Amino acid sequence: MGSPAQIAALAAAFLAAAAVPFVVDDQYVLFMLSLSLIGAIVALGLNITNGYLGILNLSVGGQVALGAYVCAIAAMRGVPVPIALVLATVVGAFFAWLIFLLFARLAGFFFGLATIAAAEVVRLMVRNLDDWTNGVRGLRGYPKLTESPDTTYWVLLVLLAVVLAGIAWVVRSPLGMRWRAIRENAGKALSIGLPVRRLQGLGFVASGAIMALGGGLLGLLLQYLEPGIAGLNTLVQTVLMVALGGGGTILGPVVGAIAITVIPEFLRVANELRLVLYGATLIIVVLAIPGGIVGAIERHLRTRRRLAAASYPQEKLKT
């Protein structure tokens, strides 16, 4: 996503997506599409650490739950919804900074385990702080993002476009190049003078902020929150979104989020076999396309460009 043709294609795709409420009357379909847009925002946040920085970040359930509960509680206490979303994003960024501050000395699998523990702390907090979160009974009765499903969908689409454009700009900036250098070889990046720890911390905080924003949006859409939102299901789904679409790619998490959210709905006709078919499909795709759908497409396009560049001088010599 950098050439004028790619930007034009992406703009056309967003315009087509914006037209969906005009042709779709089924409110459930619109709800599922809105859910996929939120999933894409959360997956884009996770992709910063797991895709571009090469950090095993598994705190997504905690970040989503934290953003959802902070936004919902603030909105219930009279804070305007836009400000509540900003507050949720800031709290998510602070929580991510705290996690990184505590566990930055760990690496790889051990760091991942530590982030799961941090998510579990959030789950236990929302489960036991009854006065604030209503505990296991769940939280409801807070304002919606908008009163119209169509407007909600459009707002989510705009927010996804803003997050996507921001991440695309950062990834193609010198900061993004440094992130990728750290992902490829952190030791070498450190040896050439890059502040590896600081750059990793910056990416981790940005990731947490975006995932918490997605959590706030999710709570406003669902209109019901319970401690399970911080559990394993949120983690697995988001990791699958990144892996299926393509980690370390700009559009991969968006494609993965749409697939993970929408495919199960098409498989509802299979009743009891739905989850089996869904799981088998995911396993086959992940094994067959290790770099994800968008990653495979990008590799194919790069190969074609290299072949075209290699054949051009030979054709020129023949003439």
Tell me the domains of the chain and their CATH numbers. 16-318 (1.10.3470)
Nearest to 146 by CA among 30, 43, 262, 238: 30
For the full predicted model, state whether its pTM sits above 0.85.
Answer: yes
Alpha-carbon distance 108 to 54, whole Å? 9
- Written as six digits, the tokens of 6 are 């790619």
Provide the residue-wise pLDDT of the chain in tens; the chain has 319 residues.
556 766 777 888 888 889 988 988 888 889 999 999 999 999 999 999 998 998 889 999 999 999 999 999 999 999 999 999 999 999 999 999 999 999 988 888 889 899 999 999 999 999 998 888 888 888 988 999 988 999 999 999 999 999 999 999 999 899 989 989 988 888 888 888 888 899 999 999 999 999 999 999 999 999 999 988 988 888 888 888 888 888 888 888 898 888 888 777 766 655 556 566 666 766 776 677 766 677 667 665 666 666 666 665 555 555 5
Q: Per-residue DSSP letters for 34-93?
A: HHHHHHHHHHHHHHIIIIII------HHHHHHHHHHHHHHHHHTT--HHHHHHHHHHHHH
Looking up tokens 């009743």, which residue turns up?
Answer: 271
Other CB atoms within 10 A of residue 2 CB: 10
Q: Exposed, middle or buried by CB within 10 Å (0-12, 13-18, 19+), for 232?
A: middle
Looking up tokens 């051990």, which residue turns up?
Answer: 110
Nearest to 114 by CA among 192, 163, 55: 55
* DSSP at 193: T
Nearest to 143 by CA among 222, 82, 86, 81: 81
Compute φ and ψ for 139, nearest 5 degrees: -110, 130
Amino acid identity of residue 68, one-letter, is A
